Amino acid sequence: MLILECPYCGLHADETELAPGGEAHLKRFGPGSSDDDFEGYLFMRENPKGVHFERWRHANGCGKWFHAARDTNTLEVFGTYSAQTTEPPQDIKDKISARRPGWTWREFA
Which CB atom, from 47 or from 90, has the smaller least distance to other proteins? 47
Query: Taking contact as CB under 8 A, which single stretch among the options 25-33, 34-42, 58-66, 81-89 is the one that binds other proteins?
Result: 34-42
The answer to whether 42 contacts other proteins (rule: CB under 8 A) is: yes
The answer to whether 104 contacts other proteins (rule: CB under 8 A) is: no
Q: Which one of 1, 28, 32, 91 is in contact with other proteins (CB under 8 A)?
A: 1
Q: Are 29 and 70 in contact (CB under 8 A)?
A: no
Distance CA 75, CA 15 (A): 12
Return the exposure string of 72-95: e unless at least 16 CB atoms fall within 10 Å of the residue's CB, then b. Answer: eeeeeebbbbebeeeebeeebbeb
The answer to whether 44 contacts other proteins (rule: CB under 8 A) is: yes
Running DSSP on this structure, what letter comes out for residue 16? G
Q: Are 68 and 92 in contact (CB under 8 A)?
A: no
- Chain contacts with other proteins (rule: CB under 8 A): 1-2, 15-16, 19-20, 22-23, 35, 38-40, 42-45, 47-49, 52, 54, 72-75
